[in-house]
A and B are shown apart, each in its own frame.
Chain A
Amino acid sequence: MTAPMLARVANTVYWMSRYVERAENTARFIDVNLQLTLDRTGGINAQWMPLVSIAGAEKAFIERYKEPTRDNVLHFLTLDPDYPNSIFSCVAAARENARTVRETITTEMWEQVNELYHVMRNAQPEFLSHHFYRGAKRTAMLFTAITDNAMSRTLGWDFAQLGRMLERADNTSRILDVKYFLLLPTPEDVGSNLDVIQWRALLHSTDALEMYRQTYGPITPRNVADFLVLNRDFPRSMAFCLYRAARALTRIRGDDAHHSPNLVRRRLGQLQSDLEYATIDEVIGQGMHEYLDGFQTRLNQIGDAVNAAFFQPRDREEAEPSEPKGTPAATS
């Protein structure tokens, strides 16, 4: 257990990290879709609406853009300052958070998030290409790399790590959900004739293709799901992310194994062991979409509990708060 940090600062670092991760993931799945459209086999019926679905923003999109054309979807997800989860909005929020905690993060981290912001600010709609998204993804990854290589493993890093891993687990589950739903609307379709290119794209957007190959070889929907949900070694799988999130949480709380776990630990521990002991056939049997939907709901509840346990300033040590109400604030 390291020295305590300001609750406000912990909250800000946590969200800074989540926003950068969210921006990176959005750049990832847009980039893959762009590449699919270049590929004749996959590009004939290039679909753009699924990207909006991954982000869970159908309503917001339809209200303002009507047609899910390439340009509309790209603008909405990338540059729209009024859509709070566009890459631009996430990056701007991450930078604003970083600005508030400049004394806690390192100069290099600040310069990197600042650069990311200026890349997005200067982006022109006509240049939203593979090159652009690859650049955005790399600039965001560099921020994460600097964080990991420059910050002492004290509370600041732990909260950044907790935020990043919860966000990544959520993003992987969303990418999987939409693709799975689109490609295989019912569990009975498992084993049907599949479009390998689309599945490849799914793996690609999580940078998982090569690692998947090394583990499983041929691409099957079942194995892809297994890899992204339950694999313990792949750093973007849901199980891996939860394992790392739980580890960060243990460090934040100190070694309190002898005390009854608080709400955050209970919720996170339960979800993590569900993943640890599940088999992919059980998951598919429940219905993939239902399973992932439940997963996202439980992640939100963990977010609520993190907020209540660490970020709400308490003037004296009180008993653990009861079940917090409301949804997590999407902003810090």
Chain B
Amino acid sequence: MRLQPYRLADAFDELITENGRPRPAAEALSRRLATLPDGELVKKQAAAESALFEAGITFSVYGNGDDPANTERIIPFDVVPRIIPGAEWDRLEQGLIQRITALNHFVEDVYHERRIIKEGVVPEQFVELNQPTWAACRNIRPPGDVWCHISGIDLVRDRQGEFRVLEDNLRCPSGVSYVLENRRVLKQTFPHVFGELNVRSVDDYPDQLLQTLQSLAHDAVDRPCVVVMTPGIYNSAYFEHAYLAQQMGVPLVQGSDLIVHDGYVQMRTTAGLSRVDVVYRRIDDAFLDPKAFRPDSMLGVPGIMDVYRKGRVAIANAPGTGIADNKVIYAFVPDMIRFYLDTDPILQNVDTFLCAREKDRQHVLANLAELVVKPAHEAGGKGIVIGPHASQETLDKAAADIQADPANFIAQPVLSLSTVPTICDEAIAPRHVDLRPYILMGSQGCHVIAGGLTRVALREGSLIVNSSQGGGTKDTWVVDPSPFRADFAPPGMSQSQSQSTGGGDA
């Protein structure tokens, strides 16, 4: 099967240049694909998906009747990887660390001195300090002043091929388990290509995550007890919660397994209570502690916020981090970078109009049909109106919604997301993608997973990559120039024969 004929969409393609040649980093993959007999790639695709299904890497779907079999699906996985050259990635990585560092400063600042508000960089009206959940987080000092321990920053590539930030996910970004599992499966699918290419590994993520979490424990604790906290098996990301706990070798707990006793968070074990030092929680702030937040929460641990305030348990991400995770604050991140770090942002935002601003609002209302309107506080693609694709009725409703509650809306120009060749009905065609790298921030510094999750909109022309709306995933390869070339090795030379030359430096 060949990449050609491949009809480029009106967008930047990650693997193929405008004149139809593979980009340099994609050459080896392209050669390999060309050697596959007809139909082989589709077979590989089926094998990869069935490997994911057998491994039970499924998410739950609600509202499909009573048959439990209907409630489990795999996210569609496309075996053609997205490839990013190593040098380009290095710059991205710097940009991501810069951005998350500034966001962390911002969270720390708004809960304490509020310099950025006092100096007028971010107007007070846009920071929701009076929202009850955030109000409860004022004046707390998390270990090492780190709030944003695990983040996912969504990137897209525009028509010119430049990466731009679309969204900062600072609460409980999910999807990293797919990165790890997609890689595992793809290594089985294209072993030769992996052998030939120098693809950066993602396998150390669980270790990095564990180290990050352990670094949050109080210094006096010798072997900190880290747990992953899940809402339970009916949560759509349950697989990931269990997967990360398993990969790190730490307990996966539910709220009912934990209790506050003797001033500490403890878990109920077969031998009584046992102290917990670090909680990687995968539930929202509002559900974390029924005593501090939503009293009807059955998922949380009563009293855990008191223990947290006293520094006797660490929580990741820190409660309150979500104050910086919305589409309005997003618009100010480049300013934050200049303000806190005194340097220019490496990664650009997408141009964003804040409907709360009179001037922006007038512009948005006058140009609705050309813009994408997004609710400021929704996730998962909910409530988005894409102007050029919307009916007049939808546009009228959007205009009314904006006028009724301007602060709740932002608008952006329609982006041309980049494409990657994707298997569609036994042929290969371009489909739009985004990219979510995961960034870890511990007391000792940052770590960015090499690549991240590439989400792909499987419908032709669609720009919506969310798995809840027909999106799939791809493996993401960060590829460095190979330190050796295959044709340098003498023919027939193998590992066993080369043993006699051992003993020197490798």
Q: Which residues of A contact B (CB under 8 A)?
A: 1, 4-10, 92, 96, 99-104, 107, 110-111, 114-115, 118, 121, 155, 159, 252, 310-311, 313-317
Cβ of B403 < 8 Å from any Cβ of A?
Answer: no
- Select which of B243, B246, B273 is within 8 A of A315 by beta carbon: B273
> Which of the 9-residue segments B132-140, B251-259, B492-500 touches chain A?
B251-259
Given A99-B233, A103-B250, A7 and B55 contact (CB-CB distance below 8 Å): no
Q: Flag B247-287 by CB within 8 Å of A: 1 or 0 each.
A: 00011111011010100000111111110000000000000
Band of interface residues on B: 20 to 34
Write the nearest CB–CB distance from B308 to chain A, whole angstroms. Answer: 20
Given A8-B268, A100-B233, A111 and B54 contact (CB-CB distance below 8 Å): yes
* Chain A positions within 8 Å of B256 at CB level: 8, 313
Write the nearest CB–CB distance from A260 to chain B, whole angstroms. Answer: 18
A20 to B54, CA, bound (A): 18
B270 touches A114 (CB 8 A): no
A316 touches B261 (CB 8 A): yes
Q: Flag B206-238 by CB within 8 Å of A: 1 or 0 each.
A: 000000000000000000000010000100001
A10 to B55, CA, bound (A): 23
* Chain B positions within 8 Å of A121 at CB level: 69
Closest 4 CB pairs of A and B: A103-B245, A4-B269, A102-B242, A313-B268
A252 to B271, CA, bound (A): 9
* Chain A positions within 8 Å of B69 at CB level: 121
Cβ of B56 < 8 Å from any Cβ of A?
Answer: yes
* Chain A positions within 8 Å of B269 at CB level: 4-7
A102 touches B246 (CB 8 A): yes
A122 to B15, CA, bound (A): 40
Write the nearest CB–CB distance from B249 to chain A, whole angstroms. Answer: 8
For the residues of B in contact with A, the DSSP-based class is: mixed
Query: Which residue of chain B is the closest to A113 with respect to CB atoms?
Result: B56
B251 touches A10 (CB 8 A): no
B246 touches A6 (CB 8 A): no
Given A7-B268, A99-B233, A252-B270, A107 and B246 contact (CB-CB distance below 8 Å): yes
B268 touches A315 (CB 8 A): yes
Among A1, A4, A121, the most chain B Cβ lie within 10 Å of the Cβ of A4
A252 to B269, CA, bound (A): 12
B55 touches A103 (CB 8 A): no
- Select which of A1, A99, A316 is within 8 A of B56 by beta carbon: A99
Among A8, A96, A104, the most chain B Cβ lie within 10 Å of the Cβ of A8
A6 touches B267 (CB 8 A): yes
* Chain B positions within 8 Å of A102 at CB level: 239, 242-243, 245-246, 252
A5 touches B273 (CB 8 A): no
> In the complex, how many residue pairs between chain A and chain B have their CB atoms under 8 Å apart?
84
Given A7-B270, A107-B55, A114-B56, A315 and B245 contact (CB-CB distance below 8 Å): no
B270 touches A5 (CB 8 A): yes
Query: Which residue of chain B is the closest to A2 with respect to CB atoms?
Result: B271
Query: Which residue of chain A is the closest to B67 with respect to CB atoms?
Result: A81
Write the nearest CB–CB distance from A328 to chain B, whole angstroms. Answer: 17
Q: 13 A-B Cβ contacts within 8 A?
A: A6-B251, A6-B257, A96-B233, A100-B233, A102-B252, A104-B246, A104-B252, A111-B55, A114-B56, A311-B270, A313-B268, A315-B259, A315-B261
For the residues of A in contact with B, the DSSP-based class is: helix
A9 to B270, CA, bound (A): 9
A314 touches B268 (CB 8 A): yes
A6 touches B268 (CB 8 A): yes
Write the nearest CB–CB distance from B218 to chain A, whole angstroms. Answer: 20
A111 to B274, CA, bound (A): 31
* Chain A positions within 8 Å of B268 at CB level: 6-8, 313-315
* Chain A positions within 8 Å of B274 at CB level: 4
Query: Which residue of chain A is the closest to B248 with respect to CB atoms?
Result: A103
A118 to B50, CA, bound (A): 12
B54 touches A114 (CB 8 A): yes
A26 to B208, CA, bound (A): 45
Query: Which residue of chain B is the closest to A96 with respect to CB atoms?
Result: B233
A54 to B270, CA, bound (A): 33
Write the nearest CB–CB distance from A38 to chain B, whole angstroms. Answer: 33
A103 touches B270 (CB 8 A): no
* Chain A positions within 8 Å of B270 at CB level: 4-7, 10, 155, 159, 252, 310-311
A9 to B238, CA, bound (A): 15
Query: Which residue of chain A is the closest to B252 with respect to CB atoms?
Result: A103
Given A6-B251, A6-B267, A111-B55, A314 and B233 contact (CB-CB distance below 8 Å): no
A110 touches B56 (CB 8 A): yes
A9 touches B251 (CB 8 A): yes
- Select which of A4, A8, A96, A310 is within 8 A of B254 by beta carbon: A8
* Chain A positions within 8 Å of B238 at CB level: 99
